[in-house]
Structure 1
């Protein structure tokens, strides 16, 4: 059966928008304990210059800042004051500020960042926790995406939308504004900080952008693989993602029930030092289970009694067909079908061409492979080859709706699109 028989690509393109910006800390780090003496000295020089301004000059400058930036961000003055609070311990001898001076100090240590100026890609999709207004026979969803801006820093952003009963997909318009969350708590640990983040609940989900907040994430939060997890009757959304420090990678876990508050936790164990871990949507024989690539080539099944500790693993899938000879990886959490666990995979072939395939794993024992696709489900089309990284199609997670798989996928690490696949037709193409 040809790819066109069961794959329906939709003309729904999510492209990066450089006009979407957030304000972020600029200059010395937001954590005063991390400042070196040179940074502290420089910070104090800036404060000295602000305090040297006459009151009317400071007020005029603050008015100019607001005229330029207030319409582009929510609660800008409060944001400036919060940034000044962050810097408080770095100021050697300045304890008395007027409110305008504090706001100006905060403004000097912030900058606008176009978080998706370069790319908007590697999506994953889950059911929206609020199904109000869902189409009859359809579903509301949340889409997570990897956004890349200046300096190739990756962040996590979101969209919402609907899937109609016939499988057609619509994405809600994104909000004009965007914001980063407040750090509600930070708990140091032997493996790194555990951080809790919270967004204002009245903001649209497309406004929420999660930037690196720990040292291990400092150069990027990459490729979140979200899954709706059944935690003993309680629904929790987990995502594994790659934290990149600029020197090293490791897998971490994000947890939420409402996509308003989030908890980010480093993972432990030998398997956590690899990319591309994907969590099964429920326990298997009482244990958590993951699919992971541990040797940069093959896919492994790992099980654990502890959601945050992952060791060992058994090989499950190895490159078999030419389109995956170079390496394999998973494309998100396995999807439960009556026939077994549907695992989307990616393969790398000649000239580093990435394609998306699939395998069917035994439901009771996912280390057993029942069938796999001889040919890719999705491969770069001639019109989809150009971009930041040519010849790549990639996804971080699909979902099932009735008899279809809803598959968001990225094109050349630049923008994202959707396809739908009839499950019966897909299974009919797979070989044992």
Structure 2
């Protein structure tokens, strides 16, 4: 079927770049308390071999490592020392170390990781907290993306860009380097770890990578749905995401005001045991509200008095049209329009083909569905059908700009692109 007349695909593609790398702990050099006896012995053998080198050999080896890798990362010596601090238990039986020995040992317990070597997809978009330099009638934005590298581990990365008054988009060049944040605070609780992460303010936003840092996230931080949340004059950015441990999934929450410091915490309650939660951008009737998927088939509306606990909920949307007979899910936080809440949805049809549709919810009572698209707004075109997961278009969040919806979307779980939608024409089509 032909593309709707109100949707315009942009000739802008964001593809994975295997040259973008971070450094991360190298096994068996995870936290020593987590090592099995064989790995602990192996870690001690590495330490012993370094200590057997004389000071000149240590200095030469450290200089060689820096010469080989310095241009690929920031503050490598600092990273080496931080990694050595992590390995303090392995040092306990070895006496006193020189600073150079500690740095060299730290280097042996790190590895480079190409975090977006395989895919760069499932984007969401929000207004940039700093709108200085925006063009007249335009807006700066932040794009979050799910990146996948070796071992199919998902992390969270960012881009910035500009929307012109007419809705045309540009994405800023990506920083050459990439970095992971410092864990500034960690607190363990019955539901899992809560962590605070801090990047250096001087790092470009595209340089910042949120890589799994807790057990529940160990195999991936997936599909972050960012939204700019308004509470009076205060604006905060939240994102729900799926934490994947390799055995189980659950929904967790990111909070930030500046995209420099981030707080990550698990969500509690029966409604948070599945994936695909999306927060409304403001309270409804004094309560927080989420669109959630609880049964792998339908969408639910859930309310909560706080941001942490989500119970119950009522069915809101069920598969109705052939392109969504298998299941439906949300495609990001609802967007507030004069006409109501615009909820983008995904539907799964024959041959597991994913398409993007929409529903319009009542502004005061979102449990009332006012209109719904009987045909997809966006479906894979012939040029978009091939990739890691064929026949999929998907988004984790769009935003309104003037009279248009700016829709970033992923193509076959491989790369990302953009489309724009004229709001008035979409409303007319949904009502028909």
1:91: Cα distance to partner? 2.9
Sort the Cα spacing of 1:98 and 1:414 in 2 relative to 1 into closer, same or farther, 3 A. Answer: same
CA contact under 8 A between 1:122 and 1:416: conserved in structure 2? yes
1:239-254 to 2 correspondence within 5 Å?
239-254=239-254
1:319, 1:183 → 2: CA distance? 42
1:152-171 to 2 correspondence within 5 Å?
152-171=152-171
In structure 2, what is the equivalent of residue 107 of structure 1? 107
TM-score normalised by the chain length of structure 1: 0.98
In structure 1, what is the equivalent of residue 201 of structure 2? 201
Unaligned segments of structure 2, at least 5 residues: none
Residue 375 of structure 1 aligns to a residue whose secondary structure is coil
CA contact under 8 A between 1:44 and 1:92: conserved in structure 2? no
Sort the Cα spacing of 1:329 and 1:29 in 2 relative to 1 into closer, same or farther, 3 A. Answer: farther
In structure 2, what is the equivalent of residue 7 of structure 1? 7
1:41, 1:184 → 2: CA distance? 30
CA contact under 8 A between 2:240 and 2:279: conserved in structure 1? yes
Unaligned segments of structure 1, at least 5 residues: none
Please, what is the CA RMSD of the aligned residues? Answer: 1.1
1:205, 1:58 → 2: CA distance? 36
1:45, 1:172 → 2: CA distance? 46
1:219: Cα distance to partner? 0.1
1:43, 1:200 → 2: CA distance? 31
1:220-239 to 2 correspondence within 5 Å?
220-239=220-239
1:142: Cα distance to partner? 0.2
How many positions carry a matched residue from both structures?
432
1:390, 1:94 → 2: CA distance? 53
Sort the Cα spacing of 1:247 and 1:406 in 2 relative to 1 into closer, same or farther, 3 A. Answer: same
In structure 2, what is the equivalent of residue 426 of structure 1? 426
Sort the Cα spacing of 1:36 and 1:92 in 2 relative to 1 into closer, same or farther, 3 A. Answer: farther
CA contact under 8 A between 1:125 and 1:142: conserved in structure 2? yes
Deviations 1:115-146 (A, max 9, x none): 00000000000000000110110000000000
CA contact under 8 A between 1:287 and 1:305: conserved in structure 2? yes
1:40: Cα distance to partner? 1.9
In structure 2, what is the equivalent of residue 377 of structure 1? 377
Deviations 1:137-158 (A, max 9, x none): 0000000000000000000000
1:214: Cα distance to partner? 0.3
1:324, 1:23 → 2: CA distance? 41
In structure 2, what is the equivalent of residue 218 of structure 1? 218
CA contact under 8 A between 2:29 and 2:43: conserved in structure 1? no
1:64: Cα distance to partner? 1.1
In structure 2, what is the equivalent of residue 183 of structure 1? 183
In structure 2, what is the equivalent of residue 66 of structure 1? 66
Deviations 1:28-65 (A, max 9, x none): 35433323332222211110011001211111111111
1:378: Cα distance to partner? 0.4
Residue 63 of structure 1 aligns to a residue whose secondary structure is helix
1:407, 1:146 → 2: CA distance? 16
